[in-house]
Amino acid sequence: MNIEIKIERKNQVLSRVSFSKATLHRYINCGKFPPPISLGGRAVGFFSHEVDEYLIAAANGTDLNEAVERMLKKRKDLKAH
């Protein structure tokens, strides 16, 4: 599986998903949105392909908790080139 790795900052993600910071954090905490990765210090980012997968899952009515679990399993399979 070849995935182009792109990182989006929180403000970029919020504009794509169209919900508030509070909702984003609530969804992350309850497993309905993929958690961010650390970029060092206090900076975090989100994998763009995971945000894409979230949007597709939400549009299709897929169980978001299951979709996020699958995304997190895929993270473990990512390898540096």
Listed by start position, the domains of the chain span 7-76
Phi, psi (degrees; rounded to nearest 5) at 57: -60, -45
Half-sphere exposure of 2 (CA within 13 A, CB side): 1
Q: What is the pLDDT of residue 79?
A: 67
- Residue-level pLDDT, tens digit, the chain, 81 residues: 577 889 999 999 999 999 999 999 999 999 999 999 999 999 999 999 999 999 999 999 999 999 999 999 998 887 655
- Inter-residue contact 74 to 68 (CB < 8 Å): no
Whole-number Å distance between alpha carbons of 74 and 77: 5
Coil/strand/helix, residue 28: helix
Q: Is the whole-model pTM more than 0.85? A: yes
Residue range 7-76, CATH number: 1.10.1660
Q: What is the pLDDT of residue 81?
A: 52
Q: What is the pLDDT of residue 1?
A: 54
Q: What is the pLDDT of residue 78?
A: 77
Q: What is the pLDDT of residue 76?
A: 86
